[in-house]
Amino acid sequence: MRTRRELVAGLVGAPALVGLERKTERPIAGGFVFEAQERGHRIRDGAGYGRVGEPRRMPVVIVGGGMAGLCAAWWLERSGFRDFVLLEMEAAAGGNSRFGENAVSAYPWGAHYIPVPNTESVLVREILTEFGAWADGQWDERFLCHSPQERLFLHGRWQEGIEPEVGATAADHAEYRRFAERVAELRATGAFTIPMALGEGKFGGRLAELDRLSFGAWLDRERFRSAYLRWFCDYSTRDDYGAGLGEASAWAGLHYFAAREHEEKGPLTWPEGNGWLVRKLTGKLGRYIRTGQLVRRVARQGTGWRVEAEGAVWLAEGVIFAAPTYLAPHLIDGFAPLPTLQYSPWVVSNLTLERVPDGAGEVAWDNVIYGSPGLGYVSATHQSLRTRIDRTVWTHYWALAGGNPRELRKNLLASRWEDWRDRVMADLRRAHPRIGECVERVDIYRNGHAMCRPGVGVRGSYDLRRLREGLGGLQFAHADLSGFSIFEEAQYWGVRAARRILGRIGREEKKSDRSNQRN
């Protein structure tokens, strides 16, 4: 995901790279990581499991330790409530904000930045303040993205910023301006907010139709024809939602641009991406977290809930279901399918480089290639204060948009590591013809259900309403409840579920917490 920038970018010349010859390439090590499909499919197929001993009582159980589950735990703890466990199926919590580390650097396996929060994002400010990113009235300089932030490879050269500038005509610029004006009008309605629930009351009337057509159809209707502008919009929706122009709703496409003011500073980023926050949260909440606990069934029992995990059975008064929502019909007894919701598959590759390829120019934090089916790469060593960097790690992102997600997922799971290694290398060769001389390893995470896709009709769907409503003593908490996935939404739904569950089981929040963001 990228930062939102105004559609005005400066031009910085970079040496042309075309014409460089491919030299001797080195053998590349690596493999797939986090291969959880088999365990997941056992849930889908309802396979049985062995003895788990006597059920244990626990007032609240959180299922899933991604950002939403961790933030629910964060809220419970700071409300003075300590009678809960968080069950995470993987060996470590973090979900889509997980990270890895090798001898060269820490690096993200998913989320890699948080925009500097606006004033509406009270909870985001609170959590970042608690962990020291904001202190004495300013953001920690180590975490604000250093310069150069973004660049785009276009017509054989790198330009600064990712809005296409090289070769842009007066007509392109006129469309950029007209688009920016439309976005400003929408922003002024107050309906495009982060977290999105805060703008809910203002999203009606004419705006509601934006959920009924695709972003591509909206651009057609508004006569936006610039190939550059359309590429930029398509890139943005693939990048934020894993969905192309024809797949994301107009509401979602426009939300990407209209929900934030132009950022003077930031974003906030770390070598391990949002894994920095995962480290902080798991460090603080470790005593509540049980990893390696795949939850296989959740069912009502008496006035409470029975949560069956691979390692134990828990009897709870309240459950916060923070696992991805596509699992709800498989795990929760009697929970009806969610036919409107689709999930985009993603491929994230971490490449360990012995050195930056010759002719690469000054590597930015975020490096995008125009016309590529991928989304470019982020440099994990960008925030390093070292004056000279030889070895580095690049995180390459590829959202599988442009097709039926189920088919795309099937093909993804049937593919071999070598196929993806070659695809990723071929993609990077467009801009770095000599990259094959530098890459030592390519580790690849194929995430079949990476995020909920905000397609046409999802925002106003019965399925999302059902999830937000919850089941009384079981509340859902996941970024999916917004229909799209960013940290702020995950945190919002996690905290909201924690508050609801506290209310439900008759535990008061501390007074000091009541002044905070309401749901």
Ligand X SMILES: Cc1cc2nc3c(=O)[nH]c(=O)nc-3n(C[C@H](O)[C@H](O)[C@H](O)COP(=O)(O)OP(=O)(O)OC[C@H]3O[C@@H](n4cnc5c(N)ncnc54)[C@H](O)[C@@H]3O)c2cc1C
Instruction: List residues near ligand X by CB under 6 A.
Output: 1, 63-69, 87-90, 93, 95-97, 110-114, 274, 294-295, 322-324, 327, 346, 348, 397, 447, 450-451, 478-479, 485-487, 490
Smallest separation, CB 7 to ligand X (Å): 21
Looking at beta carbons only, is 1 or 252 nearer to ligand X?
Answer: 1
Tokens, residue 59:
């007032």
Looking at beta carbons only, is 114 or 439 nearer to ligand X?
Answer: 114
CB count within 10 Å of CB 430 equals: 16
The sign of the CA dihedral 136, 141, 142, 145 is positive
Smallest separation, CB 168 to ligand X (Å): 27
- DSSP for 154-222, please give it: ETTEEEESSS--TT--HHHHHHHHHHHHHHHHHHHTT-S-SSGGGGGGG--GGGGGGGSSBHHHHHHHT
- Measured in degrees and rounded to the nearest 5, phi and psi for residue 475 equal -115, 140
- DSSP for 217-237, please give it: HHHHHTT---HHHHHHHHHHH
Tokens, residue 54:
């006597």
Smallest separation, CB 451 to ligand X (Å): 5
Which residue, 315, 343, 304, is CA-closest to 40?
343
Looking at beta carbons only, is 421 or 453 nearer to ligand X?
Answer: 453
**What gap in Å lies between CA 399 and CA 342, rounded to an integer?**
14
Smallest separation, CB 60 to ligand X (Å): 15
Which residue, 68, 5, 22, 59, is CA-closest to 325?
68
442: enclosing H helix or E strand: strand 439-452
Which residue, 115, 94, 122, is CA-closest to 106?
94
Which residue type, as a one-letter code, is found at position 487?
F
Looking at beta carbons only, is 228 or 398 nearer to ligand X?
Answer: 398
> Residue with CB nearest ligand X?
66
Determine contact, residues 117/489, Cβ cutoff 8 Å: no
Smallest separation, CB 493 to ligand X (Å): 7
Q: Are strands 304-309 and 134-135 parallel, antiparallel or unpaired?
A: unpaired
Residue for token digits 């964060």? 74
Looking at beta carbons only, is 274 or 517 nearer to ligand X?
Answer: 274
Smallest separation, CB 491 to ligand X (Å): 9
Looking at beta carbons only, is 166 or 498 nearer to ligand X?
Answer: 498
DSSP 8-state assignment for residue 290: E
Looking at beta carbons only, is 348 or 456 nearer to ligand X?
Answer: 348
Smallest separation, CB 2 to ligand X (Å): 8
Determine contact, residues 74/127, Cβ cutoff 8 Å: yes
- Measured in degrees and rounded to the nearest 5, phi and psi for residue 291 equal -90, 170
Smallest separation, CB 250 to ligand X (Å): 21
CB count within 10 Å of CB 448 equals: 21
- Please report how many Cα atoms fall inside a 13 Å half-sphere around the Cα of residue 487, on the Cβ side: 28
Looking at beta carbons only, is 186 or 278 nearer to ligand X?
Answer: 278
- Measured in degrees and rounded to the nearest 5, phi and psi for residue 326 equal -65, -20
**What gap in Å lies between CA 219 and CA 232, rounded to an integer?**
12
Taking every pair of C-alpha atoms in the chain, what is the biggest distance, in angstroms? 72
Looking at beta carbons only, is 166 or 243 nearer to ligand X?
Answer: 243
Residue for token digits 């937000």? 468
Determine contact, residues 171/226, Cβ cutoff 8 Å: yes
Looking at beta carbons only, is 226 or 342 nearer to ligand X?
Answer: 342
Smallest separation, CB 496 to ligand X (Å): 12
Looking at beta carbons only, is 113 or 176 nearer to ligand X?
Answer: 113
Smallest separation, CB 344 to ligand X (Å): 8
Smallest separation, CB 265 to ligand X (Å): 17
**What gap in Å lies between CA 134 and CA 140, rounded to an integer?**
6
Looking at beta carbons only, is 252 or 451 nearer to ligand X?
Answer: 451
Smallest separation, CB 86 to ligand X (Å): 9
Determine contact, residues 283/293, Cβ cutoff 8 Å: no
